Structure formats: structure tokens, C-alpha cells
């Protein structure tokens, strides 16, 4: 068996794969593998351990060949997979859900707190030597406690975000295509019948939907205008869910108060992107799942998915069950 790993990742997964005795090839770099090299490297592979930076489409699947059985993404999001092309070829795709839920929500929460209390601006102020006295008007932010958290999407990570809000005695309002009456009954969350209904009442709006054609620019100029002028937008899902031009206008014009972004469109953000000129826009480089423990767990889960498929067992976290059935592993 031949396995190709597309980047340096925590070694726990690659080590497990090497212990199998299979041929393990890895792109030993912290940079994205050039597409042409990737297409060469996957040739003849039975399994590929990919990152969200690699598009797994018809071209790549054809370059790999018909022996390819599984592509294991080191991410919970798999919008880099063209799932229909994979399923058509009976190639199983897997992702890394659950192991990163709390770590991702921790970072989304950190963005919420940092933007509400203006921590990046305050740190810069200290570093710039501007701190001369205690100031009654200095860095007055927004209260987090007892505010309303609006969630767009209440899957695993959205629900983890809501759990964090309970410690701050916040009201939680959510919109999701699937109504979660269990969460409403257990925790008192409030269901809103539309994205707009969330935007109108939330002090903090946190986005937790997958990226797909239906969620492209879900947060656009019209919807930003519905938000309170004191509201803060948090995006730790995927960059293109928010229209970046509309977000710039909203932040620049004071339509909303601030934004905290773990993801941008494009990624990485261009250095001349106007969002970078705004003090009220906190941007970090797509690090929501980046804790030592969670990145180890993601690496191990991706490797386990490969090991299972190559030893004729069901993968732990497939994204296309039809391909699992087609390979007789269901």
C-alpha cells in the first residue's frame, strides 16, 4: 500500500502509518505543495492524507488512479472535496469532527472577548508607550455578560459556543436549518426562524455553518445593515460565508461595531486588503483548531481513517457513506 501525506503535520498520525509497514511518502514542508507536484505525488497512492488547501477534484482523482481508496482530510470542513467526484469513483472521504469542537469554540470565544474588550488595540496602545494614566474614557468596549449571542448554525461547534455563553449568563438565539428542540428544552436557547431574525436581536453574531453554494456571502451588505450598530461579528467557519467588501463597508461606516475573523476570503488575506486597515477588525490566520493536543488528535484520527480503510474496516468519520458501502466496508 502507498500513502501520500501532503504537508508536515504532527507526527503522531504519520508515525502510526509508518508502523504499518506501508510505503509512506510525505511532502516535508510547511508550505502548500505545488499543484503539479501534488498530481505527480498522488499517482499510484492507495490513500492520501490531505489538508484543506488541497482541492480533491476529478483532476486529482484521475491523476491518482483507480487504486485510490481514501482521502483523509486533516480538518472538519471538507469544502475542498468534490464529494460527487469522489463517490462516483468509490473513493471514501473522511474528516476530523469532534476532536476539534471545543478547541475551535475556544478560539471563536477568544475572538468574541478580544473584540468586545478591544484587546488588540489596548495591547498596541501599551506597546506604543501611550499609557500615561488610568482613563475613564479609555478602551470602552461592549459588555459580554447578559448580552445576546446569535448563532448562525448550531451544529457541534455552534453548540459548544453556546455552552461557553452560559457562563456569562447570555441569552442564546440561534438559526439552523435543523431546529434543535433538545437544546431549547435543555438549555433554554431561543430558536429564530431566519438568519435575519438572529441578526436583528444579537449583540454578538457567530457563524458556524459549513461553506457551500447556499452559504456563499450569507452575511452580505443587506444582512449587515440589520445588525445592531454595537454588534460584533465572529467568523470561525469559512471566509467566503461573509462578503469581505460588505464587511469592510460595515466596519468602516460604523454599521456594526467590530469583527473577529479566524477565516478570510481569500486565504491568506492579501496585504492590501482594506480589512487590514481597520482597527475594529481582528484577524488571525485560520488557527481555531490549533492547540497542541487537538492537532495531535486530528493527525491521529486522519491516520486511523486511512488505516481502517486500507485494512478493510469502516472508517471512523466518513463524509460520503455511499463510497463506504461501495467498498463493502459499511
Residues with a known catalytic role: 238, 267, 286
Cβ count near 212 (within 10 Å): 11
Angstrom distance (rounded) from CA 88 to CA 43: 19
Nearer Cβ to ligand GLV (207/231):
207
Residue with smaller CB distance to ligand GLV, 92 or 288? 288
Residue 242 burial by CB count (10 A; 0-12/13-18/19+): exposed, middle or buried? buried
Question: In this structure, how many other beta carbons lie within 10 angstroms of the beta carbon of residue 214?
Answer: 9
Q: Are strands 204-207 and 232-235 parallel, antiparallel or unpaired?
A: parallel
Q: How far is the CB of 236 from ligand GLV (least distance, A)?
A: 8
- Spatial strand order of the sheet with 148-152 comes to 190-191, 171-175, 148-152, 204-207, 232-235, 258-261, 281-283
CA-closest candidate to residue 320, choices 155, 156, 86 = 86
User: In the bound complex, what is the minimum distance in angstroms from residue 115's beta carbon to ligand GLV?
Assistant: 19
Query: Would you say 99 or 282 has its CB closer to ligand GLV?
Result: 99
By DSSP bridging, strand 92-94 and strand 148-152 are unpaired
CB of 223 to ligand GLV, least distance (A): 22
Residue number, nearest CB to ligand GLV: 77
CB of 6 to ligand GLV, least distance (A): 15
Best CA proximity match to 145, nearest among 111, 112, 100, 176 = 112
For ligand GLV, the closer of residues 112 and 301 by Cβ is 301
Give the nearest distance from C-beta 52 to ligand GLV in angstroms.
Answer: 6
For the chain, first and last CA: distance in Å? 21
Residue (50 or 142) nearer to ligand GLV, CB:
50
| Contacting residues toward ligand GLV, per CB under 6 A | 52, 75-77, 100, 289
Torsion angle, CA of 239/240/243/245, rounded to 10 degrees?
A: 70
Amino acid at each position: 500500500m502507498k500513502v501520500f501525506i501532503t504537508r508536515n503535520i504532527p507526527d503522531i498520525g504519520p508515525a502510526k502509518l509508518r508502523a504499518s509497514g506501508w510505503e509512506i511518502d510525505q511532502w516535508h514542508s510547511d508550505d502548500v505543495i505545488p499543484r503539479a507536484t501534488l498530481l505527480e505525488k498522488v499517482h499510484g497512492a492507495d490513500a492520501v492524507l490531505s489538508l484543506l488547501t488541497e482541492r480533491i477534484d476529478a483532476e486529482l482523482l484521475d491523476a491518482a488512479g483507480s487504486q485510490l481508496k481514501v482521502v483523509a482530510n486533516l480538518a472538519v470542513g471538507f469544502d475542498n472535496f468534490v464529494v460527487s467526484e469522489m463517490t462516483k469513483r468509490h473513493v471514501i472521504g473522511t474528516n476530523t469532527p469532534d476532536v476539534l469542537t471545543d478547541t475551535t469554540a475556544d478560539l471563536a470565544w477568544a475572538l468574541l472577548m478580544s473584540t468586545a474588550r478591544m484587546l488588540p488595540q489596548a495591547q498596541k496602545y501599551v506597546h506604543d508607550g501611550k499609557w500615561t494614566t488610568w482613563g475613564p474614557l479609555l478602551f470602552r468596549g461592549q459588555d459580554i455578560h447578559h448580552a445576546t449571542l446569535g448563532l448562525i448554525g448550531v451544529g457541534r461547534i455552534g453548540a459548544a459556543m453556546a455552552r461557553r455563553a452560559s457562563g456569562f449568563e447570555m441569552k442564546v438565539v440561534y438559526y439552523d436549518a435543523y431546529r434543535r428542540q433538545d437544546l431549547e428544552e435543555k438549555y433554554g436557547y431561543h430558536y429564530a426562524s431566519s438568519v435575519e431574525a438572529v441578526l436583528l436581536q444579537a449583540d454578538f453574531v457567530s457563524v458556524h455553518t459549513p461553506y457551500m453554494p447556499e452559504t456563499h456571502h450569507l452575511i452580505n451588505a443587506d444582512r449587515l445593515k440589520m445588525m445592531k450598530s454595537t454588534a460584533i461579528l465572529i467568523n470561525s467557519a469559512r471566509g467566503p460565508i461573509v462578503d469581505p467588501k460588505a464587511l469592510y463597508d460595515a466596519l468602516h461606516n460604523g454599521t456594526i461595531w467590530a469583527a473577529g475573523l479566524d477565516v478570510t476570503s481569500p486565504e491568506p488575506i492579501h496585504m492590501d486588503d482594506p480589512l487590514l486597515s481597520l482597527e475594529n477588525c481582528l484577524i488571525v490566520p485560520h488557527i481555531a483548531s490549533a492547540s497542541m493536543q487537538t492537532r495531535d488528535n486530528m493527525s491521529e484520527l486522519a491516520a486511523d481513517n486511512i488505516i481502517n480503510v486500507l485494512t478493510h474496516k469502516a472508517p471512523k468519520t466518513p463524509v460520503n457513506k455511499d463510497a463506504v458501502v461501495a467498498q463493502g466496508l459499511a
